[in-house]
Structure formats: C-alpha cells, structure tokens
Amino acid sequence: MPELDELEARLARLEPADFERGLAVFRGKLRGAEASYLETCVRCGLCADSCHYFRADHELKSIPAYKLSQVASVFKRHCTVEGRLASALLGAKSFDRAMARTWVEAIFGRCSLCGRCSLNCTTGIHIATVLRAARSALAEMGLVPSDLQSVVTQSLESGNNMGITKQDWIETVEWLEEELQTAVGDPGARIPVDKEGARVLFTVNPREPKFFPLSLQASATVFHAAKEDWTVASEGWDLTNYGLFTGDSVQAGAIADNLLRSMQRLGCRVLIIGECGHGYAAARWEAPEWLGREHGFEVRSFLELMEDYFREGRLKVDPDRHQDPVTLHDPCNLVRHGGVCEPQRTILRRTVRRFVEMIPNRAENFCCGGGGGQLAMARFQAKRVQAGGVKAEQIRRSGAKTVVAPCHNCIDQLMELNREYRLGVSIKTVAEIVADALVFDQPVGR
Amino acid sequence: MISGLQIGVLASGVWALGLLGALHRRAQGYGRRELFARAAGDPRKGVAYAFGKGMSPAAKESAREHLPTWFAGVGYHLGILAGLGYVALLLVGIELDGMLRLGFQAPLLAGALCGTGLLVKRAFTPRLRALSCPDDFLSNLLATAFVALAFARTISARLDAAFLAETMLLLLWVPVGKIRHCLFFFTTRYHMATHFGRRGTFPPASFPPRA
Ligand code: SF4
Ligand code: SF4
C-alpha cells in the first residue's frame, strides 16, 4: 500500500525539531479545560463500549481511554515535573517515532472524533477534544494521511473539496433549475445564483452537484415551496471543511473564510448550512474560534430553517407518501457536537407516517463510522467499515426501510454499510423526504 | 497530647492540599479559551445537568451497562469520604460509639469491599490490566488500605498507628498519582459541561435522554 509506505517514510524522516514543533503545537492547543482533561483519567475503562470501534473489534487499542492515554502519557512526560521524575510509575512516555506512529494509528485510524466517549466518561473528560489537539500536532509534523490532507489542499486551491470549476457548478445549478421547474410545474421556479441582498445564502456539499444532484434539487424545491428569498453563491459555496479533521486550524480557518466572504459579497443575512454534520459544526461553532471573531450574521442548519417553515405554515406535506417505516441517523457533528437535535424529528414526524427512533438516539447515537475524515483515509477503510457495523446493527434493529441522514458524509458511509451489511434500506436526506411529500396547491413561482 | 503521627497526618494533608492547589493553578495556567461563536444553550444549565441527573445511570450508557462497577465506584468513594471524616474526628480527639460508629462502619466496610473488588477486577481483567500503569494499582491499593484500616480502627484502637501511618501515605500520594482526580473530576466535569451546555447538547430535551 503506497500510502502506508509514504506515511512510514515520513515517520522515518522526522527530526528532533519536528517533535519539538509537534509538541509546541499540541501545547498551544491546550487551555485550562484540556489541561484538566489530561490530568483526570482514572483508567476505569468504562468508556470502552461507548466507542463504535471498540464495540466492533473489542481491541485494547480501540478503547477511548487507550487513545487518550497515549496522548496523556506524552503530556505527562513533556509537560509535567512528576511525569519527568517518575515516568514509569505514572505512565509517562516520550514523544518519539514509535509514539508518533501510535498516535497516527490511534487518533486517525481508530477515531472519528465523534465525542460519544466524552458523554460517557465517568469523570467527564471531553476525550474527542484532546484527540483533536493531538491531530493538530500530527498535522504540524506532516503526519496527516495524504488522502485526507489532499481534500483540504483541494479546498484551499479550488474553493471546494472536489475541484468543481465555477463553470461546472453554474451549469449544474442551471440544469437543476430546469429540472425544478419541470418537477414543480412552474417555469418561474428559480435557483438563484449570486442574488445580492437575498435573506438566505444556502451552502452545499460538493458531493451534491457531483454525485447527488437530486439532493440539491430537493433543497431547492423546499425553498421554492416556502417562497424563501434565497441564493447560492457562484464561488465560496462549499460547506465542507476537512480542516476540522486534520486539526490544522489555519487551513480550516482559511476554508471557513470562503463562506464568510460569500456572505459579505452578497450581503445575505442568514448563512444556511445544508445537510452536513461537520460542515455545520465547522461553520457554526469552530470558524469563529479559528478566525478569532464573531460572525456578524446568523449561521443555521437547513434543518432549523425547515422547522421554521413548518411552524410558520409555509410547507404543506402529505405524510401518506411515506408509508414505510423511516428512521433517523444523528450525525455526531450536528447533534452531539452541534446541538441540533430536535428540528429533524419535528420535521419527520410531520412528513412520514411511521417514524421510528434508532436506539440509542440523539446525543447518545452511534457514529456511522464515516466521521472525523475517515471516509477520506483509504488506509483505514477496513476498520471504518468494521466500526460501522454498530450503526448497521442499529439500523437493522429499527426495522426501518428508509434511513434519513442529514449529512452527506454520513450518507456515503451509510451507503457503503448498506452494501456491506446487506441492509436493504434506502438512504435519504431530510430535504429529500420533505420534497417528496410536498403538496403544491398551485404554482408557487414568484 | 498530639502524637507525632497525628502531626504527620496534618502535614501530609497540608502537602496534599497545597500540591492540589498548585496542580489546579498549573492546569488553569494554560488559560481560558476565548469563545466567539454565539452560545446556543446555557452553560450553567449544562453544569447543573452534568453534576446532577447527568451522572445517573439513566443518563449514561457507560454506567447503565456496567452497573456493578458503577455501584462499586460509588461505594468506594463513599467509603473514602467516610474514612476522611473519621480521620478528622480522630485528630480532634473524638472517638465514635453507638449509632454514630455504625454510621461510619457501614460505608467504610462497603468501601473496603468495593475497593478490593475494583482492585481485583483491574488485576484480573486482561484489558483493564493492559490499560493500567503502576500508579493505578498503587493508588487503588493505598485508598483501599486506607478505608479498610479505617474500618478496622473503628473496632480496635490498637490499630491507631497503622491507620494514621496509612493515612499519611495516602495523603502524600494524592497529588502525585491519579487520586488527583479528587480535584480534577470537578474541574473536568465543569469544563465539559459548559462546553456541551453552550452548544445546547446539555441538558437533553428529554430525560432520560433516550426517550
Ligand atoms: S471513562 Fe473516562 S476516566 Fe474512565 S477510563 Fe475512560 S476516559 Fe478514563
Ligand atoms: S471520539 Fe468517538 S471514535 Fe473517538 S474514541 Fe471517542 S467514541 Fe471512539
């Protein structure tokens, strides 16, 4: 495997100065909260089953506390006096080549930064945030798996993570606009591009124009039905931000800035993040911290906006169009890390006949296994699919025929799980479910 | 007349508290994160949840699925608290008797049994053993011996010296090893809770959260 060799080669080339830089970045990521987290683990092991990796393979290396302890041992050795003086007794370890390899394997290879362990830790350690700080150190040392890093690089270079040209994007939108007009029977239906002063700027995961245009069309149908004053941007429209996964805050901030510049350029009031977990967490919660400033506008999930439409009576739906049982996947970055938990439920309860919850659900839901950049790292694919077995089992037990996932990354993973575990379900976004159930009294073009 | 051992216990207590204070300052010395994203929820409600309902097995799968260990942990910590209370009483010259003595003996005995159980579990569960470092065994051993000796001391005053000496050892080790979580449990939980409280994840819309 070339990636394996390449990463090994990078590890072999590390100089003492690289370790120093990695440690400096790691220390720089710590605040009182993280320093406290690093002092607290009692190695009770009760977090083990909260991690889908451990549930799937039952290996020591998949226990959250094991991953945390690899980072904490370095912290003890390099950042505390007692760790230096009594390293063997206290489990303090040097940050050397072997440890860097362990970090890569544990923190990139066996963690999707889903945060489920954080909620289940006996003492309350936010483990995922510590592991993200460790990813930042690895990023500084050039140890991000190259396929993950290339997604970030692509975003920085082309403005979106798939290198879609402006012309291709505009042409896709124009084609979808025609499709929308046909679908709703209204030649006035629009997917506005660069409409200055529109209330809403809608942002998109590049997977939509590239592979799932019907998903984008569904969102447009919802906007159309709700008579929203909205637009997409011709540039700076990609809501994804894989800098969240590599841990490089400078690059992540630069990617986030693409969206903010679109908002400024178009003078919109609300930035709506399409159905994407990490995109929401990045734009809503992390971007202000990366950039060191508050957004001068509202950032909301499309789910929250759709919930508003329902509340305001702007959408009429016929739930009889969805007779089969429908279940909902809770993307970690949207729900556990993002706090957007109920709007999708409110919407689905109104839109489908039989909505069944997965058990567990909401903030306790299991990661699908595709988060944390896992989908982009080919070398960890087998582990990812194995860890996703926990989600597959949840889906199977729900008895649902349709799985709704308000996240395109999750959808990719769920589609793979669907094939691998022969689940026989269809997988949709919330907007697709809503659009399929929409009832138009008459053409609603403006 | 205060004995040398009693002075030793007091000095160890000062050492423990002093170093715990220093550890707290060291951790907080990393500074506070300036937050720019607008809060979606109330961090204070997050804290109230995390130190209240959020600790219960109903709220936490890790506790729900490991109830014997969870109860053992609770019993162990109650025993340690009772032991510390007992030392304090001895230092001011109060000997327990009657119902009050029983009131201490019950948690002390339960704590000693729970501590022993957790130590055995750590030693004989391969995965837990692999996760452990020497400090885990030493800390557990010192705390369990402390509770066990406290219980024994309630029965026989002849164990006074052994109990006080063990108390000294425990207090000396508190800030050095993992027993420092007696401080960091609170700061860690506070930080985690404010984080999830701000984001609106804590408290969950319904309780128990799975409903
Ligand atoms: S539950 Fe928390 S304290 Fe216990 S081993 Fe896991 S990370 Fe450490
Ligand atoms: S953040 Fe998620 S994937 Fe990572 S260790 Fe915790 S539970 Fe496992």
Tokens 């451990």 belong to which residue?
Answer: A54
CA of A50 to the centre of ligand 2 (A): 8
Tokens of A253: 């901030």
What is the amino acid identity at position B58?
A
Domain A2-143 matches domain A319-437 at the CATH topology level: no
Tokens of A93: 């370890």
CA of A115 to the centre of ligand 2 (A): 6
Summarize the confidence of residues B82-87 as an average pLDDT: 98
Which ligand sits closest to the CA of A114?
2
Task: Name which residue sits closest to atom 6 of ligand 2, judged by CA.
Answer: A117
Nearest to B118 by CA among A46, A145, A12: A46
C-alpha B13/C-alpha B7 separation (Å) is: 10
- How far is residue A295 CA from its own chain's centroid? 20
Task: Name which residue sits closest to atom 4 of ligand 2, judged by CA.
Answer: A111
Element of type H or E holding A289: helix A287-291
Cβ–ligand 2 distance for A404 under 6 Å, the answer no
Tokens of A304: 């929250």
Give the dihedral sign, CA A365/B41/A201/A289.
negative
Chain B residue with minimal CA distance to A121? Answer: B62
pLDDT at B20: 98
CA of A51 to the centre of ligand 2 (A): 5
Residues with CB under 6 A from ligand 1: A 41-47, 64-65, 68, 121-123, 125, 127
* pLDDT exceeds cutoff 60 at A444: no
Instruction: Out of B66, B131, B199, name the one closest to residue A63 (CB).
Output: B131
How many residue pairs from chains A and B have C-beta atoms closer than 8 A? 179
C-alpha A58/C-alpha B184 separation (Å) is: 29
Indicate the SS3 state at residue A346. helix
Question: So what's the architecture of A2-143 in CATH?
Answer: Orthogonal Bundle (1.10)
C-alpha A229/C-alpha A245 separation (Å) is: 33
pLDDT digits (tens, 9 = 90+) for A50-91: 999 999 999 999 999 999 999 999 999 999 999 999 999 999
Residue among A47, A55, A61, A117 to mutate when testing ligand 2 (max atoms within 8 A of CB): A117
C-beta atoms of B185 and A89 within 8 A: no
Which ligand sits closest to the CA of B61?
1
C-alpha A400/C-alpha A387 separation (Å) is: 21
CA of B105 to the centre of ligand 2 (A): 41
pLDDT at B143: 98
* Residue B162 CB partners (closer than 8 Å, separation 6+): B149, B152, B153
Summarize the confidence of residues B12-20 as an average pLDDT: 98
pLDDT digits (tens, 9 = 90+) for A177-226: 999 999 999 999 999 999 999 999 999 999 999 999 999 999 999 999 99
CATH code matching the domain that covers A157-311, chosen among 3.40.720, 3.30.70, 3.40.50, 3.90.930: 3.40.50
Element of type H or E holding A317: none
pLDDT > 90 fraction of chain B, expressed in percent and rounded? 95
C-alpha A329/C-alpha B210 separation (Å) is: 14
* pLDDT exceeds cutoff 80 at B209: no
C-alpha A428/C-alpha A251 separation (Å) is: 31
CA dist A197 → A220, A264, A294, A392 (Å): 18, 10, 21, 44
- How far is residue A353 CA from its own chain's centroid? 28
The domains of chain A are located at: 2-143, 157-311, 319-437
C-beta atoms of B201 and A336 within 8 A: yes
Query: pLDDT-derived band of residue A4, with 50, 70 and 90 as boundaries?
Result: low
Which ligand sits closest to the CA of A106?
2
pLDDT digits (tens, 9 = 90+) for A251-299: 999 999 999 999 999 999 999 999 999 999 999 999 999 999 999 999 9
Both ends of chain B: CA-CA distance in Å?
Answer: 60
pLDDT > 70 fraction of chain A, expressed in percent and rounded? 98
Nearest to A268 by CA among A295, A307, A291: A295
C-alpha A400/C-alpha A433 separation (Å) is: 14
| Bigger pLDDT: A241 vs B3 | A241
A319-437 — its CATH code? Answer: 3.40.50.10700
C-alpha A363/C-alpha A337 separation (Å) is: 8
Cβ–ligand 2 distance for A222 under 6 Å, the answer no
C-beta atoms of A124 and B65 within 8 A: no
pLDDT at A446: 39
